[in-house]
Amino acid sequence: MFWPGMGDPAKRKKMIRFLIISAAIGVSVVLISTTLISQVKAQDPLYHKCLSKSDIQYQITASLEVSVDGKKWIKPVSTTDMPVNCEKRTMVLADDGTITGSWVKKYPFEVGQFLWTSGFPLRDMDETRSKIYENGIQSPDFIHTIVQDGAHYKAEFTTKNAGAPTFTPPQS
């Protein structure tokens, strides 16, 4: 049985040439995209868990209250624990509501980044009824609100099924 392009020597040469060129293009695209992505990640504190204290050039501190359906949200895991060989974490939402962001240069930290790193279940929230207040004024940017040093943030979230009746099976 002949495979397509393998019977005629001229066609075989063309097909092998095409496959080699296609493989070279594919490998070069992968290498270029990997290099570009690694450069972007190197400048983003979301991809770095720890910093050396000598590298820190920019630091912000603010307070954040998070409530879900009118009740204070308790973090499932303490994020103040530091990994081994870590001098300073880049983003911390402490148990007392203090948020601290540290980076090697000025960076626009967002409230949502601190919620994400602390394990907040944003997908379970109704974003149309949830609000974030900065110093008592509602922010139009919601979780993309830029954290300002010394500011107080209050996040009021409503779950997607808040107010819906719950079904409990009859007990016999």
pLDDT attached to residue 2: 60
Tokens 């066609």, residue?
Answer: 11
Which of 69, 116, 68, 76 has the alpha carbon at shortest distance from 92? 116
Assigned token pair, 108: 């626009």
Q: What is the pLDDT of residue 122?
A: 86
Q: What is the pLDDT of residues 57-96, one digit of tens each?
A: 788 888 888 898 888 888 766 545 556 666 666 777 777 8
Residues of the chain with pLDDT under 50: 1, 79
